[in-house]
Structure 1
Amino acid sequence: MAIIGAGIGGLSAAALLAAKGLRVTVIEKEPVPGGKARTLPVGDTQVAAGPTVFTLRDVFDTIFDACGERLDDHVTTRPAETLARHAWSETERLDLFADPQRSEAAIGDLAGADAARGYRAMRAEAARIYNLLDHSFIRAGKIHLPPQFLFRIGLSRFFELSAARPYETMWKVLGEHFADPRLRQLYARYATYCGSSPFDCPATLMLIAHVEAQGVWLIDGGIAALAKALRTIGERQGASYRFGTAVERIVTSGGKATGVVLASGEQIAADRVIVNADPAALGAGLLGEDARRAVGALKPAKRSLSAMVWLGHTQTSGFELKHHNVFFSPDYAREFGDIAAGRPPVDPTVYICAQDRESFGAAKPDGKERLQIIVNAPANGDARTYSPEEKEQCTQAMRKRLARCGLTLEESWQHRLLTPNDWADFLPGTGGAIYGRVSHGWAASFLRQGTRTRIKGLYCAGGSTHPGAGVPMAALSGQLAARTVMADLTSTRRFLPAAMAGGMSMRSARTENTA
């Protein structure tokens, strides 16, 4: 069994399959595990450069339990009391809390009793949507057509399906709950969690608000520490990992995946291959012509958002940061209009993860703290070069938005900037799209790449495949990949019980492993 990529999806699949007794080799081009969940140096410190929000902890508890381990024995976590701090100006601020009653009171204080009632109604609707889709779609295998989904949930729940509101946009439906434009904008931001615009994605994605309301967890060392823990439990089950090793191409024979060829020319035989990379890399032929037909090519217009990401180590003043913070643009429609036109927003919404706030460490004695600052941008990193002048314009636009909300960074701050060009290099075939296929239109969820591909024995996992973007969703994709591989192996043994040359071998989880 070969797994290309040691992102959260690949690491999850590796640990689960090794725990079932399969020989598993994970091949990763980067020197460390985690994929997008990485840290990068800024001066003499490391700053998280990937996902920062950790939800649906039970997904990881399940993975560790299946390997005979406990998550708490590997990473230190605690629930966040404040989900996020939001600001529109120096005087307009709102905290959302793990306690919904505190959130409701805060919303009432900001926008009045009608807004508090709208919050209750929106929260109830988001919960209904999530409960309908959680086990029937999110944690289950991909469904290709809506009738299949109806069959899965049962005809008796037909009218519940329409209540998920797939044919209305998130922006429209949120307007039914909130007359206050600030609250509509706040909850519309959840569309960006899967790299989409709230003006074009279905209202079904309101379920993300419910996911976050169920609990946000803080991790000592960030998501990168979680990736290291997944590698550790995989190793304990017998999986092997080859870092700093790129895969040149996937090998097929007789319409079936038979292994991989490394950039060094070495060939590794494997009768099952999981690709933990954006499926766009497959469709673009970046993993070889043999594998190109495994998935359909993704047109640039179907890409999700990219981002301008500043990794900083600096002093701050004014605004009192929480771990997660959002500073909103005054014109959300213009912001997404700029992105649709292929340019970074002129006056953007800014997200900051203040990694040393509410965490397990503290700012250094010199008062500097680590910040990851994100502004949404178009995924055109393979078609447009961002010049030094444009980078500086984006930096100044970001700083102005923070200043208007009362936050000041040092003038000469230590930082590095990742643009869509950098994301395009890091995520081949994507143009810098961080979240895979964009979730626009009612059919978007059915069009996202599933676990199986058109080539037998070749599977996909990761945040760009079903069930979607985000840390827990990537882990769920790894679970689905592991489950599908085991089901296919069981089917093979049922109909071909005799030993086959080159077939998948089983062994004790503690023995030496090969591909």
Structure 2
Amino acid sequence: MTRTVPGRTDHVVVVGAGLSGLAATLHLLGAGRRVTVVEREALPGGRAGRLDMAGYLVDTGPTVLTMPDLADEAFAAVGARLYDHVELIPLHPAYRARFADGSALDVHTDPDAMEAEVHRFAGAADALGYRRLRAWLERLYRVQMRRFIDANFDSPLGLLSGDLARLAALGGFGRLDPRVGRYLRDERLRRVFSFQSLYVGVPPARALAAYAVIAYMDTVAGVYFPRGGMHALPRAMADTAAGAGAELRYGQRVTRLERSGERITAVVTDQERIACDAVVLTTDLPVAYGLLGRTPRRPARLRHSPSAVVLHAGTDRTWDQLAHHTISFGAAWSRTFDELTRTGSLMSDPSLLITRPTTTDPSLAPAGRHLHYILAPCPNTELGPDTRAWEDLGPRYRAELLRELHRRGLDGIEAAIEQECLVTPATWRSLGHTAGTPFSVSHTFTQTGPFRPRNLVRGTENAVLAGCGTTPGVGVPTVLLSGKLAAARITGGHRRPTVSRRPPPAPTAENSPAPTEESAA
């Protein structure tokens, strides 16, 4: 049995209406708790917010949705269904990868379609290798999910199980890049199945092979897009929570927590005092620790993931070579990761994620217009340029990125921009994200699983943490799980879904939406 919050827990205050806070809220409501959610912004979503740029509707946070069943599980806690509230569109392809040598690969989650694409791209040997890699990814996911991802830990001893031996037998404690290389000879293909480790702040050459589970989510389980944008998910979660009895109070900033001994007795905002029996904190770790007046001791200082520069661009044209998600790889690879995680310099030959949500939902931009989200990983402010340096560096780096995109075939992109918003590490820092990164604490071995900052803080018995800084980690699926795990610390266990689940069909060429004029390639 894992530890749970002792004593009365009838009324829980959740601080933050992001994905983790809303997931915790739904699971708490389903277990019979009264819940009040306090959010500093005027709308739900947290990192998954919404920006209106003169009719261009921008998702300010994640753009990739995988494992929607985890969100559905939160809805199920209150007898609802995700698919009744959000229309999920399977993406086909999940990604398009474009390489410096001019080649391109569409990444399909349907195994037959992907095998045929790999055969066209790299030949018969790698097509066979893809099938073997896919089977390994599926086994890896099955072993990890129940015991290591969807699990609360009280100590490293919680790792000791038969699943640990099975994970070791699968090579999960080796390194990611060499493991993928066992199945795929083509260096370009290996990138497609290993770049995901950057999501958790570790280069593929140093990441545990266990983190190939993210490639499973991206390349096997499927990638989806909610109609109305990613923000449609937290908006639907908030509406469902309100309908199930939660009180959501927007535009309130938490200033302090009142306590009696080791128990939090009230959450105080800049507008009111809210008495409570327990609290879930979804803020960045330093903010949460500051409110609690407790910072756990660790043998080494926490290391943070790289950050990102994001250019949201509303344009009067688009480019046929783009899919919904396009990864534009530079020629450099290992040097890129050294720059991001060791030397602290900007990528000299950048690999970029370009998302064009209007491929799938044209209503996100004015008629005849297009929305592009250009993400360039960069060092965080602990390792690279600090927040002050980004004041001058930001506009110059924007210009460099647009010149590079022009060279890579998005000709005239700068002249096509009608509305834009540039986000840099200084922006992330101003939003309260430590080290100027929205990706929080990296997933090195000593910051993973039972070694990651726990969701219970010693010295406070009725406060629980949730969000990407605590267990299980960074990313939409894991953040949703963090809310579920936080609720379980209060309620004493997981609540099983009580209504039948009807997930969307897996992404295939047959059930994907017909391409719009601007998405045809």
Asked if 1 retains the 8 angstrom alpha-carbon contact of 2:140 and 2:210, the reply is yes
Asked if 2 retains the 8 angstrom alpha-carbon contact of 1:258 and 1:269, the reply is yes
What secondary structure does 2:193 align onto? helix
Asked if 1 retains the 8 angstrom alpha-carbon contact of 2:364 and 2:371, the reply is no
Matched, 1:449 2:460: no
Q: 1:397 to 1:337 in 2, by over 3 A?
A: farther
Matched, 1:346 2:348: yes
Matched, 1:180 2:186: yes
Matched, 1:130 2:141: yes
Give the TM-score taking structure 2 as reference length: 0.85
The residue that corresponds to 2:44 in the other structure is: 33
Matched, 1:482 2:492: no
Matched, 1:118 2:129: yes
Matched, 1:96 2:107: yes
How far off its partner does 1:309 sit?
0.8
Matched, 1:194 2:204: no
The residue that corresponds to 2:398 in the other structure is: 395
- Distance in 1, matches of 2:56 and 2:279, equals 36
Matched, 1:431 2:435: yes
Matched, 1:50 2:51: no
Task: Provide, for residues 21-43 of structure 1, a one-character-per-residue CA deviation record: whole Å limited to 9, x for no partner.
Answer: 32211111111100000122334
- Distance in 2, matches of 1:269 and 1:391, equals 43
How far off its partner does 1:436 sit?
2.1
How far off its partner does 1:301 sit?
6.1
- Distance in 1, matches of 2:235 and 2:54, equals 23
The residue that corresponds to 2:500 in the other structure is: none
The residue that corresponds to 1:501 in the other structure is: none
How far off its partner does 1:163 sit?
2.7
- Distance in 1, matches of 2:304 and 2:22, equals 25
The residue that corresponds to 1:6 in the other structure is: 17
Asked if 2 retains the 8 angstrom alpha-carbon contact of 1:304 and 1:438, the reply is yes
Matched, 1:307 2:318: no
The residue that corresponds to 1:495 in the other structure is: none
- Distance in 1, matches of 2:96 and 2:165, equals 36
The residue that corresponds to 1:376 in the other structure is: 377
| Structure 1 portions without partners, runs of 5+ | 489-515
Q: 1:42 to 1:122 in 2, by over 3 A?
A: same
**What is the correspondence of 1:229-244 to structure 2 with a 5 Å cutoff?**
229-244=236-251
Percent identity of paired positions between Structure 1 and Structure 2: 31
Q: 1:385 to 1:165 in 2, by over 3 A?
A: farther
What secondary structure does 1:437 align onto? coil
Task: Provide, for residues 241-294 of structure 1, a one-character-per-residue CA deviation record: whole Å limited to 9, x for no partner.
Answer: 111111112222212222222134x332212010012223234x2x2xxx1315
Q: 1:410 to 1:158 in 2, by over 3 A?
A: closer
Matched, 1:255 2:259: no
Question: Aligned AA for 1:390?
Answer: L
Question: Aligned AA for 2:439?
Answer: Y
- Distance in 1, matches of 2:412 and 2:177, equals 32
Which shows bigger deviation, 298-307 or 217-226?
298-307
How far off its partner does 1:425 sit?
1.6
Q: 1:178 to 1:396 in 2, by over 3 A?
A: farther
The residue that corresponds to 1:149 in the other structure is: 159
Count of residue correspondences: 477
Question: Aligned AA for 1:235?
Answer: A
RMSD between superposed Cα atoms in Å: 2.5
- Distance in 2, matches of 1:302 and 1:358, equals 37
How far off its partner does 1:335 sit?
1.3
Q: 1:363 to 1:437 in 2, by over 3 A?
A: closer
The residue that corresponds to 1:421 in the other structure is: 426
Q: 1:434 to 1:359 in 2, by over 3 A?
A: same
The residue that corresponds to 1:512 in the other structure is: none
What secondary structure does 1:60 align onto? helix
Asked if 2 retains the 8 angstrom alpha-carbon contact of 1:85 and 1:325, the reply is yes
- Distance in 2, matches of 1:299 and 1:307, equals 25
The residue that corresponds to 1:507 in the other structure is: none
Q: 1:463 to 1:85 in 2, by over 3 A?
A: same
How far off its partner does 1:218 sit?
1.6
Asked if 1 retains the 8 angstrom alpha-carbon contact of 2:390 and 2:426, the reply is no
Q: 1:338 to 1:371 in 2, by over 3 A?
A: same
How far off its partner does 1:98 sit?
2.5
Question: Aligned AA for 2:399?
Answer: Q
Asked if 1 retains the 8 angstrom alpha-carbon contact of 2:149 and 2:449, the reply is no
- Distance in 1, matches of 2:396 and 2:133, equals 37
The residue that corresponds to 2:501 in the other structure is: none
- Distance in 1, matches of 2:61 and 2:222, equals 20
Q: 1:409 to 1:446 in 2, by over 3 A?
A: farther
Question: Aligned AA for 1:355?
Answer: P
The residue that corresponds to 1:277 in the other structure is: 283
Q: 1:227 to 1:298 in 2, by over 3 A?
A: farther
Task: Provide, for residues 183-235 of structure 1, a one-character-per-residue CA deviation record: whole Å limited to 9, x for no partner.
Answer: 12222211122233223221110111112211211211122111011111111
Asked if 1 retains the 8 angstrom alpha-carbon contact of 2:57 and 2:365, the reply is no
How far off its partner does 1:411 sit?
2.3
Asked if 2 retains the 8 angstrom alpha-carbon contact of 1:83 and 1:96, the reply is yes
Asked if 1 retains the 8 angstrom alpha-carbon contact of 2:49 and 2:59, the reply is yes
Q: 1:143 to 1:360 in 2, by over 3 A?
A: farther
Question: Aligned AA for 1:333?
Answer: S
Asked if 2 retains the 8 angstrom alpha-carbon contact of 1:349 and 1:401, the reply is no
The residue that corresponds to 1:503 in the other structure is: none
Task: Provide, for residues 103-141 of structure 1, a one-character-per-residue CA deviation record: whole Å limited to 9, x for no partner.
Answer: 111112111122212222222222111110111121121
- Distance in 1, matches of 2:430 and 2:364, equals 33
The residue that corresponds to 2:76 in the other structure is: 65
Q: 1:387 to 1:424 in 2, by over 3 A?
A: closer
> Which residue of 215, 224, 227 maps to 2:231?
224
- Distance in 2, matches of 1:383 and 1:395, equals 17
- Distance in 2, matches of 1:167 and 1:442, equals 13
Asked if 2 retains the 8 angstrom alpha-carbon contact of 1:256 and 1:456, the reply is yes
Q: 1:300 to 1:406 in 2, by over 3 A?
A: farther
- Distance in 1, matches of 2:446 and 2:131, equals 25
Question: Aligned AA for 2:239?
Answer: T
- Distance in 1, matches of 2:60 and 2:238, equals 19
Q: 1:299 to 1:239 in 2, by over 3 A?
A: farther
Question: Aligned AA for 1:50?
Answer: G
How far off its partner does 1:318 sit?
4.2
- Distance in 2, matches of 1:231 and 1:369, equals 28
Which shows bigger deviation, 159-168 or 107-116?
159-168
Which shows bigger deviation, 440-449 or 340-349?
440-449
How far off its partner does 1:317 sit?
4.5
Asked if 1 retains the 8 angstrom alpha-carbon contact of 2:228 and 2:361, the reply is no
Q: 1:313 to 1:134 in 2, by over 3 A?
A: same
The residue that corresponds to 1:406 in the other structure is: 409
Which shows bigger deviation, 42-51 or 52-61?
42-51
- Distance in 2, matches of 1:195 and 1:368, equals 34
| Structure 2 portions without partners, runs of 5+ | 1-11, 494-521
The residue that corresponds to 1:510 in the other structure is: none
